[in-house]
Each structure stands twice: as C-alpha cells, then as structure tokens.
Amino acid sequence: MDKPNQNKTGQKMWGGRFSDNPSEIMQAINVSIDFDRKLYAQDIEGSLAHSEMLAAKGIITSEDKAAIHRGLAEIKAEIEDGTFPWSRELEDIHLNIEARLKDKIGEAAGRLHTGRSRNDQVATDFRLWTREQLEHFSARIGKLMRALLAQADANTDTIMPGFTHLQSAQPVTFGHHMLAYLEMFARDRSRFDDCRNRMNESPLGAAALAGTPYPIDRDMTAKALGFDRPMANSLDAVSARDFALEALSAATICATHLSRLSEEIVIWTSAQFGFIALSDKFTTGSSIMPQKRNPDAAELIRAKVGRIMGALTALTIVMKGLPLAYSKDMQEDKEPVFDAFEALDLALAAMTGMIGDMVPRKGRLADAAGAGFSTATDLADWLVRSLNMPFREAHHVTGSIVAMAEKQGTTLDALSLGDMQSVHGAITDDVYSVLSPLASASSRLSYGGTSPTRVAEQVARWKAKLS
Ligand code: ARG
C-alpha cells in the first residue's frame, strides 16, 4: 500500500509546503485565521457584550467578567500594535483570542464561552463587520454624489450630444448627463441602507443551533451591539448569510453603474471624442507612445465589477443547497465579501476623484452636439407645429432635408432657406430658431427633461437633499 501523500517511489504527490502528514492538510484546509483575523474588533466587541450579559444574569461572577474585560482590552491592544502571537494551529480568530485570554487571565477565560458557540459568534462578528461596511458605503457613495452634483451645477447649460445606440440622437446638457448618474448612485445608496436596516438583528445567543439552557438575555446583548433586536429563530441565526448576499448584490449593481460611467470616461477622453480632459492625477502615460494619456483608473473601475459579481456568484453557490443549520462551507463566506468590498471601496474613491478632476471641453462638446443632424427631430416638430403637418409627413420631409445636408457635407442649421424650401415651399426662416443644439436642448422643458431650466431645478433639489 502507498503511504498517504506518497507514490510508490516515495515521491511526494503534493507540493513542497506539505509533509506526508494528512493532519497538516487538514489544518491547511481548515484554517481561517489568515483572513478572519480581520474580524478581531467585532469578535472582541461581541465577547465584551456577551460577558457583560453573563455577569448581569448571574451566570458568571463580576470578578470573572472584570478579568475577561481586562484581558480582552490587552488583546485588542496587542493586535493593534502588531505583537499578538497569531497561531495557525488555533484555526480561527475566535480560538486565537480565547487561547490568548487564557494565557492572560487563566481559568476565567474558559467561562466566556458559556451559552455561546462559535456558530453564533462568527455570525455575529460577520454581521457587525458587514454592517459597518454598509454604513461606510452609504457615506462613500454620498461623496461621489456630491462630486457629480458639483459637475452638474457647473454645467447646467453645457451642451453635448446625447446618444442612443452610441449614435448621435438629440442634444442634451452635460449637467443632465451627470445627474443621470447621480440618480443611479442615489438608488445604490438606498440599497445599501435598506440592506443595513434589514440585516441589523443579532444572532448572538443562538448558540450552536438550538439556543441554550442558560438564562441568557439576548435583548441585552443585541442592544449592546447596536442591533435592533435578537434574531427570532436560532437555526436561522447561525445559518443565514443572505445579508451578505444582499450586500454583494447591492455592491454588484453599484459596480455596474461605476462600470458604465467608466466606459463613458474612456470614450470621452479618446482623441476622437475629446469631450473631457483628465489631469495627470488620474491618467498614465505610455512607455513607448509619448502622445498617450491613458484613462487607467476608469478602465480598472470598469473591470472591478468582474470580481465583485464573481464574489456574489461564489457565495451564492456556497450557500445553495446547504442544509440547516451551520456547515463549515460557510467559512467560505468571508473572503469573497472582503475582496469585493475592498474593490468597491477603491473603485468608489477613484471615481469620486476622477469626477472632481474631470474638465468638460465645452467647445468640443458643442461642436459634437451639432454633428450627426442631432436637431432633425426639432425640425420635424417645427413642421408639425408651424405648418400643421402630420408628424409622419414631417418625418419624411425632414428626412429629405437631412439627405440634402448630408450631400452638401453641412449641418442642418447651415443649410440655406432656399434649399429647405426646395423640399417644402412653406418653410420660413423661423425654422432656424429650433435648429441649434442649444435651442433644441432648451426646448425640452418636460419634467425630467434636459433643458438648462429643468437641470438647474434638479441641481437645486439635490443640493437641498445632500446638504
Ligand atoms: N471559522 C469558522 C467560520 O468562519 C467559525 C465557526 C466554526 N464553527 C464550527 N462549528 N466549527 O465559519
């Protein structure tokens, strides 16, 4: 018979890290301290609340509680100044801290875990950590919204081309375009806020899965940890990870919006578009092509959605099909969330910086706004209004005038009146009042429309909301 991890010639089947001892493999797959140490502050906070409650209920003595609190404070300081003796043999953050507590205060450390299990402990830690992140994202998105608002405010009447199918459609204002993203990010922020409010219930005291015979007070620990209430079902409390899935869903949607805005920045900074300029702060050069100024930050933000949505997919698949209550599979919940949130945080910060940095090139935007016969719809509308023409006929007449302008290589507002009258004799020179991009945008006064008047109103509304 072959020995474990060795073939017939004694050559190791696994990499050099491993000896032929299967228990090391067990440790390697089991250990989580390399990533769950991120939860140290939440773990200590939970233990402080739990021991406070145990003492209040007479389950441990107040002397033991005092020793536990003193020990935990020392441990926190050790972790924060880098002197904590991390041990991979001790598997995870919970056992690392408990073992260290025993070094420090002896037997009383063993009483901390009364009426509690690592199952409700990890669920509590992870919820506390995620809640803090959700609150952080809400604030972060607020900063991005303010940056977009400042651009909108400065550009309520900056005319640019509006696109559908990335083809010139109708002129819009740059401020209007910025406010479109502001609306999207506002919804993203409300998704994070909703998620935060829904997940703010305490698993602590659910113990391993079934609750505990000790006379614990779950309301007390919930309150101490800032939760709205204890979770009502102990099986659910230790096995639910939908709060993390929901947070990742919100993160994925937000990353999608960041990706769309990034794509526009990439397009807009190209020489062919030249709609905006970015400074040296958010661009890089090429090592071979001296003329280049690459929008790397935008490209990287555009890509981040991949890993963020990857995290959502990964955790969804970890959770699907898991029976109640806790299974070790769930230890795989943390890394995707940590990674995705770090990526989103960086992406939001970089986008906020870029939006503040970006300078719209007004002349270039105005020229582009007039290109592509972007006021053809305005011409058709003028024919309907001024000549009482049915819209279908006006569409046809406009099509012929556009073809004429195209043939002459000119824009609609540069065509002579005579040329236009050759298509339809009743056209008067009043038509020129609607053919400029500014006139076109300004006429779109319907609620939510692009006219500078409406955009300024929305800017004022957002200023009041975000102040
Ligand atoms: N490290 C574990 C995790 O992250 C903690 C819970 C362990 N529970 C257990 N019954 N082994 O999920």
CA separation, residue 111 to residues 59, 265, 295 (Å): 9, 58, 57
Residues 140-183: pLDDT tens digits?
999 999 999 999 999 999 999 999 999 988 999 999 999 999 99
| Rounded Cα distance, 411 and 158, in Å | 20
- Single out the catalytic residue among 23, 165, 446, 467: 165
**Per-residue pLDDT band at 288 (split at 50, 70, 90):** confident
Contacts of 425 (CB under 8 A, 6+ apart): none
The confidence score (pLDDT) of residue 9 equals 42
Residue 331 CA, ligand 1 centroid: distance in Å: 6
Residue 334 CA, ligand 1 centroid: distance in Å: 11
- The identity of residue 63, as a single letter, is E
| Rounded Cα distance, 306 and 298, in Å | 14
pTM for this model (two decimals): 0.91
Contacts of 233 (CB under 8 A, 6+ apart): none
User: Is 59 touching ligand 1 by the criterion CB < 6 Å?
Assistant: no
Q: For CA atoms 450, 451, 454, 459, give the dihedral sign.
A: positive
Taking Cα atoms as reference points, which of 435, 460, 461 lies closest to residue 170? 435
Helix (H, G, I), strand (E, B) or coil at 161: strand
CB 229 within 8 A of CB 201: yes
Residues 290-301: pLDDT tens digits?
777 889 999 999
CB 275 within 8 A of CB 365: yes
- Single out the catalytic residue among 286, 416, 422, 433: 286
Q: Is 286 a catalytic residue?
A: yes
**Per-residue pLDDT band at 3 (split at 50, 70, 90):** very low
Kind of pairing between the strands at 159-164 and 167-173: antiparallel
Q: Is 47 a catalytic residue?
A: no
CA atoms within 13 A on the CB side of 146: 11
* Residue with the two structure tokens 């002349």: 363
| Rounded Cα distance, 343 and 345, in Å | 5
Which is higher by pLDDT, 284 or 313? Answer: 313
Taking Cα atoms as reference points, which of 90, 91, 97 lies closest to residue 48? 97
Least confident piece of the model among 1-15, 171-185, 268-282, 441-455: 1-15
